[in-house]
Structure 1
C-alpha cells in the first residue's frame, strides 16, 4: 500500500479518546470540556469509538446531531478529530434481534451481550451493518475540514467458533491446500493419534481440551483467525475508501500484558500492510516490583521499534494513560515526571502523537477509575492535569523538530508471531521457560543500553539494509528464510542466531535429516540436541576472561568449519562448543547454543558493536539507565536524552549540541535529575524526506 500523508500543520498530536456520548445528559460538562482542552494544550480527539448506541439508538434510526455539536466545538478551538467506526461494541438491540452477531467460544458456548469485542467476524448481518453505519459517517463527515483520519473499531482481537466461522475455516483450508485433503493431512501429520481427515466436514476449530494435540491445525487456526479479522476490517473500510479515498485509515494495535511483549493474538505484520498509519496502545506498568525502570523502558523501546519498522515510517501512540490504569494486577500511579518522560520516549522512538485513553474519566462501569486527563474532581489544578499541560506545551514547542523526522537503524531483530505460536505449542524443552518475546527483548536491551537503534522486523524484510541481523529462537523456519539468511551472510552481513532455531518447517513439521543445509553451511556447525535445565541446574562458560552463568537451555554442537568462541564448563558436554563463529564467504555467522545472563549479552554485543563500527546518535558517556534516541530529517538530528533512573545522573557529552528548548549550546558534563529529559539538535548523517509522515 502506498504511504499516505497525514497533515495537520506540522503539529504533534496531543489529546485522545473522547467519549461525549457518555455525557449527553450533562451539557454543562460538554461545554466545560473544550475549556479544559485548551488549558491542557491538546489538539486532537478520537471520537465515536464506542458510540453505536448513541449513533443508531434503534435499527435504521440514526442520530448525528450530538456528534455534529461535539465536532463543532472541537473545530472552534482549532482542534482536529480522528473519527472512529463504532464496531468495537454493538448496541443491545442488535444482540437481541440478531443473535448471530454473538460470538461462540472454544467450548461452543454462545456468549451473551455484554463487555465489548465479542462479535462474530463472519456474521453477514454484522458486516452489512458496519458498512451501513460507516457509510453514513463518511457521507456526513468525510469532507469536514477538521477530520484527520479514520480509526477502525478498537483493539481487534479474539476469535469465534460458531457454525459460520467453522464453515469459513474449512473454506480457507480448502483454498490453502487446493482442495487436497492429502496435502492437509501431510501438513497436520494426520496419522498421529488417528487424526487423519477423510472429509472436509470433519474439521473443526481447536477446542480447549486437547487443543495442543494437532499442532498443524492449531497453527492454521491462528492464521485463519488473523485472516478473518483482517478480512472483516477490509470489509468495514470499503465505504470509507470509496467515499473518502484521501483520508488515512488506522486501527489501534496492542501489546501482550503484563509481560509487555509483542501481541500474539493476531499477525500484526500482516495487518500493518492494510493500514495507512500504524497506531498502538501502550500501557507499561511503570514502578512495578519485578524490574527496574530502565529494563521496562527497554521493553517499551522494543515495541516502539517493532511498530515503526512495520511500515518504516512514524507511527501514532493512540492510547496511553497520564496516570494509572484499572486492569493491571496493581494499578499504581505514575510518579511525578514519569508521564513526561515516558511520553518523550514515544516521540523519540518514532511516534508523532501522544494520545490518551481517556480524556475524561467515566462516571460509572469498569473504566470509572482508569486514568484520564480530567479526573472526577474536574479540576485543571491537580497534578495529573498539570503534567499533561506541561507536556502539551513542550510538544507545541518541538513539533517542527520532530514531525516527519525518521529513525534509521543498521541493526535488526527478527520477530515472527507465527514462530511464537508454533514454539508455544511445542511440547518439549521447558514449557514455561521458552519466553520467545521476552528473550528477544533481552537481546534488544544490550543495544538500547548503548543507544544503538534497532528495527524489529519480519522475516520477509530485505536483510541487506542492515549490518547486523539477530534471529534468536527462530524455531519455525522455512527453507526460503534459511536461504535468505544465507544470502545475507554470503554478501557480507553479520548474523546471530541461537538455540531452538530452524527445527521445524512452516507447517510445524520437524525437518528430516538434521538441520537445514543452508543453515549448516552458514553457521559451519549443526545442533545435535538441546538440554533443558531445571532452575537449580548449573553450568557456565568463559568469555573474555569472565565466567557467565547458563540457564534454561544448552545446545550440544557439532562443529564443521565453525570456530569455538566459548565452551561449556560442566556436564557431559563440558569443553564442547557453546558459542561458535563461522566466516562464510564475505560475512560472519554466530550461534549461541546456550541461554546466558544479560551481562553476557552486554559484553558479547558490545564487541560486535565495536567491530562493526556501529555508533549512537550522540557521543556521550553515561551510566546504565540513560537512553539516547534520535530522529532525523534534512541533515538534522533531534536527540532525546532521557534519564530512566530515580537518581541524579551526571553525563558527559563529547561533542557540541544545541538544546532546542533553551537554545543553549551544550558539551561536557550535564546533570540530569530523576526522569529528566533534554531535547537537543545536531547535524545528522543522512538526508531523506521522501517518505515523511507529516502530522
Structure 2
C-alpha cells in the first residue's frame, strides 16, 4: 500500500525548482524580465519566490500603492507555465515608514533604538508596524489570493532577532504574568533569592540587558521563550488576512541552519509546510563528511518538524558572498548537495538568487543568471541539468523517510546548556556533540528523526539523548516508558541536571532518568583543551567491543546503581571508575556514556552494535566507504535509496541484494555500484 502525503501544491505536483526572484530591481529595463522568462524555462525552473523585499516598490509612499508591475509578473508567469511563492514584504520596511514612525525600529538590549537600515530591523510588537503589515497583506490577499500562478505565501524572510522597546517590555511582563500568575511563583521558578534579586512588583521585570540583569538563568530562558512566542504571534498576525482570503493556499517562512534564537519546533506548529535555507561551506577539506553530516542533520530536523516533506527554499547554485571564504562548487557538487536535500525529504530545490543584483551587499552572491546575463555559463548548465533530473523523479514526491532511530534535540535545553556557567565556559559544544552522535548513524545509512521531548517515541527502536541537561519530569517518564516497552536509549553525560525552569534536580543526577539508567552522576569535570583521558572497554563486555579511546573536554564521575559497567576511565584520580554502562530495564536497555569521546571510531563501533542489536533499519544492506552514505525515502510500495558520495574521491560499493533499478534510467542494477567524485546514484526497489 502506498504511503504518500499530498504534494505541497496541487497546482504543481512535481518537484519545485526555482529561485528567489527580484523583478522590482529591474523595472527600469523591461527587456530583463522578458529574457528572464526565456531563461527560466531553459533552466527547467517552474517556481519563483517573488516580492520578498519589495515594500518600497509596492508602497513608495504611505497609502500610495503600486501593484501593476506585480500584476505583469504573475500574469506572465501564468501564461508561461511558471508559478510563484508570493512573499509578504515585512522583512524590510521602507525608509518613509522609519522616518515617520520610529517606533517600528528595534531597540537593542542596551536600550538604544536602531537607525533605519539593514533588514529585520523592526519591532514585532509595535502597533504601527502591525497595522502597516495588516494593510499591505490585506491588499496582497485581495489581489492575488486566487491568482492562478500563486502556489503559496512566503511570509517575510528568515525571522530572527529581538526587540527591547517599551512595547516589548510590557508584552514580556504580560507573558510571564500569564505563565506564573503570582510574583511568588515567578520568584520561586527563577530562584531570585540568589543575590537578592527578588522581584516585588511586576514593573521590575525586564528583558536581560548587558548593563542590567543577565545572571538569573530562568529569566534568560523565559525571555528566549517569549521571543519565540512573540515572533510566532507576529507571523499569525501576518497570515490572518491571507488565510481569510484563501484558506487553501499554504503559508511558510524560510528557516535557517540550526538557528539559535527561535524555537523552530514551536514555530512549526503554525506553518503549513516547512522551508529552510541551506548554505554549506563545501570544499573546506578533501572529504566533505563533516559538512555533509551537519547539513544532513539539519535536513532531518526540518523534515521531522512536521513529519512530512519540506522545502529547500534557498541554496546557492554556485557560491555565497558572506561566508569566510566564497568557494566555488566543484563539478558534480551542485547535483550532490541538491539531491542530498531530496534524499532527506525535500520536495523542492530552490536558490538564492535567480539573477545577481547589480549593486549592494549581495551583488557577488551566487545566482542562476550571472552578471553576464546569458545561459552560457557552467552554473546555468548545472542548474538546467539538475532541473531535468528532478523532472524525472516525480514519483518520489510525497514519499516519507521511515526512520526507526531518533535523536532528542530541544531548543530550551540548548539555550540552558549554553547559559549554564560551567563546567566548560570555554566551549561546551552542545550542537557539535549532538551532530557527532548523529554522524555515526549517518555514516551507516540509518534514517533518523530529530525529535523533541514531547514527541511520540513509540515508532522508534533506538533513541539517542546527548547532553539533555534540561529534562522535564514528563520527558524522563516518557523515555523510561520507551525503554520499559523494549526500546534502546543511549544517554550521555550532563543529562537530567535541571528542570524546565533551569533549577537543579535535588534527587541526584541524571534526575528523571536515574532509575532508568541505573547510575548516579556525582561530579563532572571540565578538561582544559590540552587535557586528555581515556576509556577502556572491559574484557568480555556485553557489546563485544574492545580497546581504548581518548576522551576530552568533559568527564563525569558516576556510580553504577544496577547498571553493568562496559568501560572504565584510564587515567587520573578516577581511573577505574565507570565510563560506559548499560542497564537492562523492563524489556529494553539504557546505555550511559559518561565522557566526551574524541575518536569517531568509538561512535561508529558503539552505535553500529546498538543499531544491530535493536534491529534498526538501514537504507541499504551494504558496506559504505567513509564519507559515503545512503538515505531512504519510501511510499510503502517502493523504496528509493539515495547513495551519496561525500568522500572526495571516486569509489564503489557492493550490493548485498538483488532487485534494484536505477530510478533515473530504469536500468537493472546489481553487483557493484560505481560512484564518481561527488557522485549520486538513486536506486529503486520493491518493498
Q: TM-score, normalised by structure 2?
A: 0.96
Moved more, 102-111 or 516-525: 516-525
Give the equivalent residue in structure 2 for 1:104.
Answer: 107
- Among residues 406, 414, 420, which one is paired with 2:400 in the alignment? 406
Out of 302, 314, 317, the position equivalent to 2:309 is 314
Corresponding position: 1:483 with 2:448? no
Distance 2:310 2:213 in 1: 36
Q: Which residue of 1 aligns with 2:580?
A: 579
User: Offset at 1:166?
Assistant: 0.6
2:283 aligns with one of 284, 287, 290:
287
Q: What is the match of residue 688 of structure 1? A: none
Q: Which residue of 1 aligns with 2:540?
A: none
Alpha-carbon deviation of 1:517?
6.0
- 1:464-494 CA-to-partner distances (Å, cap 9, x unmatched) read 1100111110001111111111111111111
Is 1:674 the counterpart of 2:677? The answer is: yes
Query: What CA deviation, in whole Å up to 9, does each residue of 1:432-463 have, x standing for no partner?
Result: 33111111100010011000000001111011
Change (3 A) 1:499 1:251: same
- Correspondence for 1:690: none
Q: How does 1:257-336 map to 2 (within 5 A)?
A: 262-289=258-285, 292-336=287-331
Give the total of aligned pairs. 674
Does residue 49 of the first structure (1) align with residue 44 of the second (2)? no
CA contact (8 A) 1:19 1:47 kept: yes
Q: CA deviation at 1:6?
A: 2.2
> Does the Cα contact within 8 Å between 1:3 and 1:276 map onto a contact in 2?
no
User: Is the 8 Å Cα contact of residues 522 and 556 (structure 2) preserved in structure 1?
Assistant: yes
Q: Which residue of 2 aligns with 1:625?
A: 627
From 221, 224, 238, the counterpart of 1:222 = 224
What's 1:511 paired with? Answer: 505
SS in 1 for 2:671: strand
Q: Aligned partners of 1:436 and 1:332: how far apart in 2?
A: 28
Matched-pair contact (CA < 8 Å) for 1:212–1:425: no
The change in CA–CA distance for 1:518 and 1:216 in structure 2 (over 3 A counts) is closer
**Which residue of structure 2 aligns with residue 233 of structure 1?**
235
State whether residues 7 and 14 of structure 2, in contact with CA within 8 Å, keep that contact through their aligned partners in structure 1. no
Tell me, in whole angstroms, the C-alpha distance in 2 between the residues paired with 1:69 and 1:211.
53
Aligned equivalents of 1:517, 1:206: Cα separation in 2 = 28
Backbone CA RMSD of aligned residues: 1.4
Cα distance in 2 for partners of 1:486, 1:646 equals 42
Q: Provide, for residues 524-583 of structure 1, a one-character-per-residue CA deviation record: whole Å limited to 9, x for no partner.
A: 111000011112222111232211001111111111110001001111111110011000
SS at match of 1:233: helix
Equivalent residues of 1:498, 1:591 under 8 A apart: yes
Secondary structure of residue in 2 paired with 1:484: helix
CA distance 1:87–1:599, change in 2 (3 Å) = same
How far apart, in 1, do the equivalents of 2:11 and 2:638 lie?
A: 22
Equivalent residue for 2:421? 427
Separation (CA, whole Å) in 1 of partners of 2:656 and 2:453: 37
Native 8 Å contact 1:324 1:371 kept in 2 = yes
Write the mapping of 1:128-139 to structure 2, written as runs, cut at 5 A. 128-139=131-142
Tell me the SS of whatever aligns to 1:72.
helix
- Give 1:646 shift: 2.2
Contact 1:524 1:582 in 2 (8 A): yes
How much does 1:267 deviate? 0.5
| CA contact 2:510–2:520 (8 Å) conserved in 1 | no
Name 1:448's counterpart in structure 2.
442
* Distance change >3 Å, CA 210–CA 96, structure 1 → 2: closer
CA gap of 1:4–1:102, structure 2 versus 1, over 3 A, is: farther
Q: CA deviation at 1:515?
A: 2.8
| Match among 39, 42, 48 for residue 39 of structure 1 | 42
Match of 2:606 in 1: 604
1:634 shift after superposition: 4.1
Contact 2:630 2:642 in 1 (8 A): yes
The whole-number CA distance in structure 1 between the counterparts of 2:617 and 2:416 is: 36
| Residue 231 (structure 1) shift | 0.5
Q: Which residue of 2 aligns with 1:196?
A: 198
- Runs (4+) off by over 4 Å: 2-5
Seen in structure 2, the aligned counterparts of structure 1 residues 441 and 210 have a Cα distance that, compared at 3 Å, is: farther
> In the TM superposition, what is the alpha-carbon distance from 1:617 to its structure 2 partner?
2.2
Counterpart contact for 1:539–1:569, Cα < 8 Å? yes
Whether the 8 Å contact between 1:473 and 1:497 is mirrored in structure 2 is: yes
Cα offset, 1:4, TM superposition: 8.7
Q: Which runs of 5+ in 2 are unaligned?
A: 538-544
Instruction: Say which is worse superposed, 627-636 or 153-162, in terms of deviation.
Output: 627-636
Distance verdict in 2 for CA 1:516–1:338, change over 3 Å: closer
Q: CA–CA distance in 1 between the matches of 2:81 and 2:459?
A: 42
Conservation of the 8 A alpha-carbon contact between 1:479 and 1:516: no
